[in-house]
Structures are given as C-alpha cells and as structure tokens.
Amino acid sequence: MASALVIGILTLMPTPTGGDSTVGRSLLLTDIVLNVLLFMPFGGGLALTGRTPVRAALVAATVSVMIELCQLSWIPGRDASIHDVVTNTLGGGLGAIIVAGWGRRAAVWRRLGPAIAAAAVVAWNVGGLLIAPGVPSGNGWYGQWAHEFARTTLFPGRIVSFQVRGLPIPDGPIAATDALQAKLGATDTVRAVVVLTTGRAFTGRAQLAGVVSPTGGDFLGLWQQGQSVLGFPRLRMTNAGLRGPVFIVREAIPEQAGDSVTVSMEWSLRHVTLSAESRIGRKEQRLTLTPEVFWAGFLPFDYDLGGTNWWISVLAAGAVFFPIGLGLTRRAAWGLGVSVLTLAGGPFLLGCAASSALTWVLGLAAATCGILLGRLLRF
C-alpha cells in the first residue's frame, strides 16, 4: 500500500542527531496535524479492504507503536512519543470513517459541510490573532551571545552589545527579567539590536544573540548564515505549538573579518523588519504579518521568509478557502460571499495587516474549486 510506504519513509529514515537551530521550540500542534494527515490515507486504505473504522484504528495504533519502538531503539535522530501514537491512531480512524461513510456522503455533508466552512472561518481568524508578538512563560530568562548548539556553528567574530527595547542583555541570566517583561507588556512592538564584529568566513548557521526562557523556549534569536542575517521573533503561534517563521535578509554581512555590523529586528502586530547596517550599506527586509503567515506554521520543516512569499498564499487558499467552498457547495453564492467577508473582515476585526492581493485571488479561486469539486462528488 502506497500510504504505508510513505509512512515508512517519513518515520523510519534516520535524521541528523541534535536539536534545531532555534532551541526550545514546542511544535506540538504542528506534529498533531501532520501525524493525523499522515495516517488518514492509511486508515482509508484499510477501510477499502473491508475493515471497520475501529479495526482500522487498532491497526494504525499497532503500526504506530512499532514505529515508536524502532525510533526509540535503533533509529538515530528520532524521538519516540506517546503523542505520536495517539494522533496516528486518530488519523487512521478518521480515514476509515470517511471511506466507510462515502456512500452516505450527501446526507452527511448536508449537516457537516456548513460546520466545516464555519470552522475554516474561525481558523482564519484565530490565525490572525496568533501572528501577533508572543512572550514565553516563566521567569529567569537567559541572554545568549554567540552560543553553539547541535547542528550549528560557533560564530567566529565578536558580539559587542545586545539590547532588547533598550535594556542591555547579558550573556547569561538576565537579572532584570521583571523589567524586561514589563517593557514588553507595555507595547505591542519589540525591538532587538546586536552590535558585532565580523570574523572569518564559515559555513553553516551561527547564533549571534538570543533570549530564552527556561520553561517557555525562545523569545528571539538572531543568526548569521553565510552573508545572510536571520531573525526568529516569537509570535503567539509559537506559544500555541506551531513552527514559527525565520525571517531573512540576504547579502547583509560583509565577507571581510573585522567589520562592525549593527543587526536589528523589530516586530509588531503588522510587520517584522530585519536589517543589517555596515560599511557595505544598509540591507533591510520588511515583511507584513498577514493572517496567511499562520498557515506556514504547519509545515514539517523550518522555513525562511524573505522577498516574495507567494507560497504562503497558496497554503492559506488550500487550508481555508477551499474548505469554505467545499463546505458550502450547495450554496455557491454563500461560499463566495463568506470567503470575501473572511478576507476583508478578519484583519479589520483583529487589527492585523490585510491579506495580499495574491491571497485574495487564490482564496476566491480555491473557494470556487471547492464548490465545483463538491458538486462533482455529489455532496
């Protein structure tokens, strides 16, 4: 079965040992969604062989337990988790339920379709809320100056200073954690500035500076990769267990050692601005935080945002507006109307930036495709 082969490849292949380049991130929600989606075709395939949804779920659970045992005992770089077993089982059961109930789809969809469309609208608005700046929980925050982690390189230059909202951040425990949290709570805009002296050329990704909470993960991280500067600002989506974005400015760091560079990152409800200023000039990337950015958090890999990010609009169209159209396939005008109101009303109500023109076009096109597919499948 093709789905079983895909599961084997994605779960049993070794990965390099060590943590992410951005430490302390919780990706529970991302893992839940991906695990459910991974096992849904497997459960559907089992239902096609005559197994009931309960039996399909039991088979999925058995396969998942075997995978986790292999990851625990023999496969380098893999972490076993009971959460994976539960979500894989859920995915297998859902896939089997969908296949088993396919013959009654018209009657079921009459009740379920509008609920799915409503859930997509709610998810879009929740995404708009979760792209705002977030603050990790816990006290006893730590500053980090050019630390080396697994799968990263030690920065060969020198960090001169590091500030967040004008407060100096040491390399170690932040004695003024309360003062920093008070400053962060007083506004929805966060600004971090690090002054550095470049070192020799290197390969890989090296941390410049960061702030972490011992219980809540990263608050921010600034990195160098080649001549590029990367910034990880903590957003509420990270607090919710999604993979946060890494913003990038290319060709921003001089190749020559001994140059002074000022790297700054500022983020608010609407924008993230990442810049580097040195003898080669000022390089800056300003990105708008629109609701569609939230949907990139479900990707199973790290992603950099810089320049044209058209693929985010594609993700949002498929994840939100296609289900709206499919859910309201019996009421085509409603499907398109709800899509327009979602695109226009979400940012207005939530205070985040408005979606791009590309997202509007792709969103309405996806809703139309959902309506047409629903009619083709006789929902």
What are 311-358's pLDDT values in tens digits?
888 888 888 999 999 999 988 899 999 999 999 887 777 777 888 889
Indicate whether 138 pLDDT > 70: no
For residue 297, being part of any structural domain is answered with: no
Residue 378: the pLDDT is 82
For residue 301, being part of any structural domain is answered with: no
State which of 289, 320, 346 marks the end of a domain.
289
**Are 94 and 108 part of one and the same domain?**
no
Q: Output the average pLDDT for the chain.
A: 84
Residue 129: the pLDDT is 87
Residue 254: the pLDDT is 92
- Lowest mean pLDDT segment, chosen from 4-8, 270-274, 289-293: 4-8
- How far out from the chain centre does Cα 49 lie? 36
Section 41-49 average pLDDT: 84
**Are 160 and 277 part of one and the same domain?**
yes
**Are 348 and 214 part of one and the same domain?**
no
Q: What percent of the chain has pLDDT over 70?
A: 86
For residue 222, being part of any structural domain is answered with: yes
State which of 100, 121, 152 marks the end of a domain.
100
Indicate whether 24 pLDDT > 50: no
Section 299-316 average pLDDT: 76
Q: In terms of pLDDT, which residue wins out, 216 or 127? A: 127
CA distances (Å), origin 294, targets 31, 91, 123, 271: 15, 22, 10, 14
**Are 157 and 252 part of one and the same domain?**
yes
CA distances (Å), origin 354, targets 268, 289, 351, 359: 14, 9, 9, 10
Tokens 């090296």 belong to residue: 206
What lies within 8 Å, CB to CB, of 336 at 6+ separation is 325, 364, 367, 368, 371
- Given pLDDT bands bounded at 50, 70 and 90, which one contains residue 3? low
Report the number of distinct structural domains present in the chain: 3
Q: Hey, how many other C-beta atoms are within 10 angstroms of the C-beta on 199? A: 17
**Are 61 and 146 part of one and the same domain?**
no
**Are 153 and 272 part of one and the same domain?**
yes
**Are 110 and 184 part of one and the same domain?**
no
State which of 230, 262, 289 marks the end of a domain.
289
**Are 96 and 112 part of one and the same domain?**
no
What lies within 8 Å, CB to CB, of 139 at 6+ separation is 177, 178
CA distances (Å), origin 210, targets 128, 213, 363: 26, 10, 36
Section 180-200 average pLDDT: 84
- Given pLDDT bands bounded at 50, 70 and 90, which one contains residue 23? very low
For residue 337, being part of any structural domain is answered with: yes
The tokens of 47 are what?
Answer: 């239902």
pTM for this one? 0.76
| Distance between start and end Cα atoms, the chain | 27
CA distance 318 to 322: 5
- Lowest mean pLDDT segment, chosen from 86-90, 144-148, 154-158: 86-90
- Given pLDDT bands bounded at 50, 70 and 90, which one contains residue 295? confident
For residue 298, being part of any structural domain is answered with: no
Question: Bridge partners of 133?
Answer: 235
- How far out from the chain centre does Cα 2 lie? 27
- The most confident of 14-23, 25-34, 63-72, 113-122, by mean pLDDT: 113-122
**Are 227 and 337 part of one and the same domain?**
no
CATH code, 200: 2.60.120
For residue 136, being part of any structural domain is answered with: no
The tokens of 103 are what?
Answer: 């013959």
Section 76-86 average pLDDT: 72
Residue 102: the pLDDT is 76
For residue 295, being part of any structural domain is answered with: no
Q: In terms of pLDDT, which residue wins out, 8 or 48? A: 48
**Are 282 and 326 part of one and the same domain?**
no
**Are 206 and 236 part of one and the same domain?**
yes
For residue 137, being part of any structural domain is answered with: no
**Are 184 and 234 part of one and the same domain?**
yes
> Which domain covers residue 351, as residue numbers?
104-131+307-379
Indicate whether 1 pLDDT > 60: no
